[in-house]
Amino acid sequence: MRLSLEQIAQFDRDGYLFFSGLFSPEETRTLTAAVPELYARREAYNVREKGSDAVRTNFAAHLYSEPFAKLARHPRMVEPVQDLFGEKLYMHQFKINGKMAFEGDVWQWHQDYGTWKNDDLMPTERAMNVAIFLDDVNAFNGPLMFIPGSHKKGVVDAKHDLTTTSYPLWTVDNDLIRQLVERAGGKNGGIVSPQGPAGSMILFHSCLVHASASNLSPWNRVSVYLSLCALSNHIRRFKRPEYIAHRDFSAIDCLPDDCLLKHYPVELPWKNGMPGSALVTSSEPIADTRKAA
């Protein structure tokens, strides 16, 4: 899938693009059907909500689940980012966020690149999030909220929040959020929240400031996030386990557009379990592979 010049200009201005209903219900069902079994697994890659058994985030399913391995190579998700960066991409992070009915907790205001920079030593912001809704998203089930244009600020100040939710994040404080929202139009568009049917896709800049409220509705809000990083911009530190921040910097090769509905062979390297090495972490930077090569 290719972006028009108008879409590229809109992305540059707002920091995100929304594609309502981009994947058909039939395509989306192939993914949704696989989620309960993945969430039921008692594995480190399933992070549960604080004080609840509900899964907040499942990591790295593209390495052990066939439908998600195909999604990770889907041209509708990968090609627009490749075009924007003018470079091949690798998968930095792959998540299936639950935000389950009644239990899904908040995501505080943050920029993803803040965490990738501080924790993973990712050199620049040349990485992108692409989300696909596996459930309908409405005003009540904890939709993502964006501050349009906030990506233009680059990396803003953030604090390492280790307590609010079950997942550590570099979060932005309320005063700065107030200023950014005001600058973006205050009550007139200073916060936006793309909502739509299952199968909708959002592409958003790694410096776009975003958050989501808890889900007190009776409707799940499961969404998949691909975090795609330009090859030259690979992380330089393995401080977080490999199921959270990937260490395989090989380029993603796309499958055909009908890949969710037809059989295509995909590698599933963690099908029989995650290797022990995926849990080994270090606070030291890795050797510079470009010099070593």
* Rounded Cα distance, 160 and 108, in Å: 11
> Is 261 in contact with 218 (CB distance < 8 Å)?
no
Minimum distance from CB of 107 to ligand SIN (Å)?
Answer: 4
Which residue minimizes CB distance to ligand SIN?
212
Q: Which is nearer to ligand SIN, 65 or 223 (CB)?
A: 223
Q: Which is nearer to ligand SIN, 104 or 190 (CB)?
A: 104
Q: Using the minimum distance from each CB to ligand SIN, give the nearer residue, 65 or 212.
A: 212
Enumerate binding residues for ligand SIN (CB under 6 A).
97, 99, 107, 144, 210, 212, 223
Q: Is 112 in the site for Mn ion (CB under 5 A)?
A: yes
Rounded to 5°, the CA angle 201-203-207 comes to 145
Residue 70 interacts, among Mn ion, ligand SIN, none and using kind-specific CB cut-offs from 5 to 8 Å, with none
Q: Which one of Mn ion, ligand SIN, none is in contact with 97 (Cβ closer than 5 to 8 A by kind)?
A: ligand SIN
- The least CB distance from residue 127 to ligand SIN, in Å, is 13
Q: Which is nearer to ligand SIN, 28 or 255 (by Cβ)?
A: 28
Residues 6 or more apart whose Cβ sits within 8 Å of residue 12: none
Sites for Mn ion among residues 37-96 (CB under 5 A): none
Instruction: Establish if 120 lies at the interface with Mn ion (CB under 5 A).
Output: no
28 binds, among ligand SIN, Mn ion, none (CB under 5 to 8 A by kind): none
Return the range that interacts with Mn ion (CB under 5 A); candidates 32-40, 96-104, 110-118, 193-201: 110-118
Residue 14 CB, shortest distance to Mn ion, in Å, is: 17
Min dist CB 99 to ligand SIN, Å, is 6
Report whether 244 contacts 167 (CB < 8 A). no
- Binding-site partner at residue 212 among Mn ion, ligand SIN, none, CB < 5 to 8 Å by type: ligand SIN
Toward Mn ion, which CB reaches closer, 114 or 241?
Answer: 114
Distances (CA, A) of 125 to 7, 173, 227: 20, 21, 12
CB of 112 to Mn ion, least distance (A): 4
| Among Mn ion, ligand SIN, none, partner that 144 touches (CB below 5 to 8 angstroms by kind) | ligand SIN
The residues that touch Mn ion, with contacts defined as CB under 5 A, are 112
